[in-house]
Amino acid sequence: MNQAAPTPKDNQGDPVVRIDGRLKVTGQASYPADIATANVAYGVLATSTIARGKVSKLNIEDAKAVTGVLDIVTYGDMDNIGKPKFGNTSASSIAPLHDRTIFHDGQIVALVVAETFEAAEEAAMLIHADYEDEQPSAGFESKGTKTEAAAGKNPMLKEDPKAGDFDAAWANAAVKIDEKYSTPTQHHNPIELFSTTAIWQGDQLTIHEPSQNVTGWKVELARQLKLDPANVRIISPYIGGAFGSKGPMTARTAIVAVAARRIGRPVRCVVSRMQAFGTQTYRAETRHRIRMGAGKDGRITAFGHEGWEVTSRPDPYVVGGTSATARMYDYGSVLTHVSIVHADRNTPGYMRSPPETPYVYALENAMDEMAAALGMDPVEFRRINEPAKEVIGGKPFSSRSLIKCYDEAADAFGWSKRDAKVGSMREGDWLIGMGCATAIYPTAVAPCAARVRLTSDGDVRVQCGSHEIGTGVRTIAGQMAAELLGIAMEKVSVEMGDSALPPAPVSGGSISTASVCSAVMQACETVRQKLFAGAVGKDGPLSGSGNAKLDMADGKVGAETGKSAKLADVFKAMQVGAIEEYAEFAPKGSSPEALKKLYAGQPEFHGGEGDEDSVKYAFGAEFVEVRINSYTREVRVPRIVGAFAAGRIMNTRTARSQLMGGMIWGIGQALHEATEIDQRHARYVNRDLQDYIVPVNADIKQVDVILVPEVDREVNPAGVKGLGELGNVGTAAAVASAVYHATGKRIRDLPIRIENLL
Ligand code: MOS
């Protein structure tokens, strides 16, 4: 595999090495559960063994008797605490210790606190509940589920997109595809386990917990605990795998805080991997029906996409990926509908590209099927259906480089060497298949604040309450400041992951680079203007260059005349030692309340399909080669090539890393990953990394990322499209397409396993 970061092309930034990379790989980066905490007690959760019913009695006497047990928080102990509310900040309205109703298997029934982790764990295992249990519904297959229309239930799917007369177009289509697809339940398994450490100092509460949303959590936790948000601080400087799992706050955080207050000591609770399956969010299984009609010329005339998703009993969580699939190609007509199925399950939540991963999987499979039905090359089929405008609202795309992505990726992959005939390519015992699919992700941006300080020594400090979830945003924010202030990267420090810093939006929806960089730009611009005024002022070292265009580079303020002044001299003339600016960035189209909502932890998102002027998406094209053993039918992916266009690329190293990681996850989605559910008990079965299969190094061979240059001035001041969630969209469909090409077997249900190919 080529390990070098791509050489920057037009509108692409240097592959600066992560400023925290060394700390991370040498173990010096402290993750929230690593923070040394004096006098800490250990919390372990006890969870339900049924999925539906009521706890009639909780037996805690044996647990209490374990040496070292300090407290057990359970029913009754949360009565004065506000219940979590389902929404952007809280994962679920299920409020485990507030009432005795059990909504799902693995629901928290108690938190044991002890002097040691071992004592707490022993005691937690001795807790047992008496239940009035009822037969649960596990999901699509079960009796007793409730199905409702999803549109409008959740901001992620405001309405079912429609265009033209689908029924007529479908009836008249010369070539038709009418197929069903499905994606499995998937659970978050970040390397860093979920944890909460709560520390009280008087009425001030500090929470160390991996979080993608420190400001949102601060406000929501304060509401639950009835505190002033100013007295709550969430600290999360490093996060070992987020991908949406650490976006919404779960019920545990308040429970641990209550425990710490009761015993008057800090409490740390690290959730076991098994318990995380029931107490955290996950990607629920989806089903799809796609109807696609086309003319013999290959033009799509009708696109129908129905989706079904599973959620918990009380919450309307839905991802609703038809927003993107309905705008993907130049369909003559569109009809979509998404339904939610309520079952006795914990509430699902965000997982990397929540709507697009399952919905685009279904669409891109159907595209491959239609291309085959038309006898057309799948790349050519997409080229023919490339839209000038999106068909739902008739708006232009702010930029759309999909075909360029196809051209570059096809070229690098060697698509022209593919023999289109199914099952025709072979090497020894291995059947070879080649396939492709489109990646798409909406480009959004949110209000964000940042503080930038420049000293006379040329030291820069950037502060922003965003989160380094592994994307490289800390480095990128520093790069933006270094560039605008003309300072070497070594002189830049960046602080993130603390609700005491200027507020940033949730690090989700691939908005962070755009939002943070736009705020940092705004702060740097003010610093520059102040310095420029000082430089050209009466006593300034560039006095008299008042009308000259000024810039900052190499630690100097320079005029276009060629004259320049050292920063130290400008500061001296200004008689200050540092300039510090606090910027509040609000994107175009923001409401008058936008900044207030940012501070309240409920930032507005702008962009995607929601803007008036244009729809905003990043695109990519992915090509996969599979090799399938003709005897054992094992599937290998020796190579994958993805070309992506995402506006300005801030750093080709971190961008490549995001996209590569996404494609690797996509291979896992295609071939490995699935949570198995015991239908009788609505229980997750494979709750560990032995049985929950993810790709390891031996599964991944060559992964090539091509960054296609693109300029988009509409998306946000930084010109950046998010790409953290782009890479894994489409990958699974590309694998399925390649599997079909190798074997002639069309696998529509993920994951694709040996048993499907026999
Ligand atoms: Mo992401 S699933 O928006 O953290």
The closest alpha carbon to 204, from 236, 235, 180, belongs to 235
Is any atom of ligand 1 closer than 6 Å to the C-beta of 304? no
Ligand 1 atom closest to the Cα of residue 469 is 4
Six-digit token string for 279: 């107490």
The closest alpha carbon to 516, from 382, 654, 672, 423, belongs to 654
Whole-angstrom CA distances from 14 to 272, 554, 581, 652 are 40, 16, 26, 6
C-alpha of residue 538 to centroid of ligand 1, in Å: 51
Is any atom of ligand 1 closer than 6 Å to the C-beta of 454? no
What was the ipTM of the complex prediction?
A: 0.97
Is any atom of ligand 1 closer than 6 Å to the C-beta of 354? yes
Q: How far is it, in rounded angstroms, from Cα 462 to Cα 583?
A: 11
Per residue in 516-545, pLDDT (tens digit) is 999 999 999 999 999 999 999 999 999 988
Q: Which residues lie closer than 8 Å to 3 by C-beta, 6 or more apart?
A: none
Q: Integer distance in angstroms from the first to the last C-alpha of the chain?
A: 31
The closest alpha carbon to 32, from 654, 498, 464, belongs to 498
Is residue 175 within 8 A of residue 203, CB to CB? The reply is no
Q: Is 613 exposed, middle or buried (0-12, 13-18, 19+ CB in 10 A)?
A: exposed
pLDDT at 384: 98
pLDDT at 2: 53
Amino acid at 435: G
Is residue 365 within 8 A of residue 181, CB to CB? The reply is yes
How many other β-carbons are positioned within 10 Å of the β-carbon of residue 711?
A: 12
**Range(s) of the chain covered by CATH 3.30.365.10:** 32-135+193-280, 395-443+611-756, 445-605
User: What are the two backbone dihedrals, phi and then psi, of residue 170, each rounded to the nearest 5 degrees?
Assistant: -65, -45
Per residue in 542-584, pLDDT (tens digit) is 998 887 899 999 999 999 989 999 999 999 999 999 999 999 9
Provide the mean pLDDT of the chain.
Answer: 97
Choices 3.20.10.10, 3.30.365.10, 3.40.50.920, 2.40.50.140: CATH for 32-135+193-280: 3.30.365.10
C-alpha of residue 354 to centroid of ligand 1, in Å: 7
The closest alpha carbon to 214, from 558, 522, 495, 544, belongs to 495
**Helices and strands: H and E segment counts in the chain:** 17, 34
C-alpha of residue 47 to centroid of ligand 1, in Å: 27
C-alpha of residue 350 to centroid of ligand 1, in Å: 5
Is residue 148 part of the annotated active site? The answer reads: no
Is any atom of ligand 1 closer than 6 Å to the C-beta of 355? no
Per residue in 445-467, pLDDT (tens digit) is 999 999 999 999 999 999 999 99
Ligand 1 atom closest to the Cα of residue 245 is 4
Please say if the pLDDT value at position 1 is more than 80. Answer: no
Is any atom of ligand 1 closer than 6 Å to the C-beta of 350? yes
Q: Which of 473, 725, 728 to mutate to test the pocket of ligand 1 (most atoms within 8 A of CB)?
A: 725
Per residue in 69-122, pLDDT (tens digit) is 999 999 999 999 999 999 879 999 999 999 999 999 999 999 999 999 999 999
Percent pLDDT > 70 in the chain is 100
Ligand 1 atom closest to the Cα of residue 212 is 4
Return the residue matching tokens 């019920």: 251
The closest alpha carbon to 370, from 294, 436, 433, 434, belongs to 294
Ligand 1 atom closest to the Cα of residue 246 is 4
Indicate whether this model's pTM tops 0.80: yes
**What average pLDDT does range 692-697 have in this prediction?**
95
pLDDT at 504: 98
Nearest residue CA, atom 4 of ligand 1?
244
Ligand 1 atom closest to the Cα of residue 510 is 3
Per residue in 624-656, pLDDT (tens digit) is 999 999 999 999 999 999 999 999 999 999 999
C-alpha of residue 509 to centroid of ligand 1, in Å: 5
Per residue in 173-202, pLDDT (tens digit) is 999 999 999 999 999 999 999 999 999 999
Is residue 466 within 8 A of residue 211, CB to CB? The reply is no
Ligand 1 atom closest to the Cα of residue 354 is 2
Please say if the pLDDT value at position 154 is more than 90. Answer: no
Is any atom of ligand 1 closer than 6 Å to the C-beta of 190? no
Is any atom of ligand 1 closer than 6 Å to the C-beta of 247? yes
Give the architecture (CATH level 2) of 445-605.
2-Layer Sandwich (3.30)
Return the residue matching tokens 């189209």: 589
Choices 3.40.50.11690, 3.30.413.10, 3.30.365.10, 3.40.50.620: CATH for 395-443+611-756: 3.30.365.10
C-alpha of residue 719 to centroid of ligand 1, in Å: 21
Ligand 1 atom closest to the Cα of residue 247 is 4
Is any atom of ligand 1 closer than 6 Å to the C-beta of 508? yes
pLDDT at 294: 98
**Active-site hit among 121, 122, 192, 725:** 725
The closest alpha carbon to 587, from 515, 533, 490, belongs to 515
Task: Print burial letters for 373-390: b (CB count within 10 Å at least 16), e (below 16).
Answer: ebebbbbebbebbeeeeb
Is residue 512 within 8 A of residue 722, CB to CB? The reply is yes
Q: Which residues lie closer than 8 Å to 342 by C-beta, 6 or more apart?
A: 145, 146, 147, 148, 311, 312, 313
Is any atom of ligand 1 closer than 6 Å to the C-beta of 724? no
Is any atom of ligand 1 closer than 6 Å to the C-beta of 509? yes
Per residue in 236-273, pLDDT (tens digit) is 999 999 999 999 999 999 999 999 999 999 999 999 99
Is any atom of ligand 1 closer than 6 Å to the C-beta of 283? no
Q: Which residues lie closer than 8 Å to 76 by C-beta, 6 or more apart?
A: none
C-alpha of residue 507 to centroid of ligand 1, in Å: 7
Side-chain-facing half-sphere of 404: CA atoms under 13 Å: 13
Please say if the pLDDT value at position 3 is more than 80. Answer: no
Q: How far is it, in rounded angstroms, from Cα 736 to Cα 748?
A: 8
Q: How far is it, in rounded angstroms, from Cα 668 to Cα 647?
A: 27
**310: part of which helix (H) or strand (E)?**
strand 300-311
Is any atom of ligand 1 closer than 6 Å to the C-beta of 352? yes
C-alpha of residue 613 to centroid of ligand 1, in Å: 25
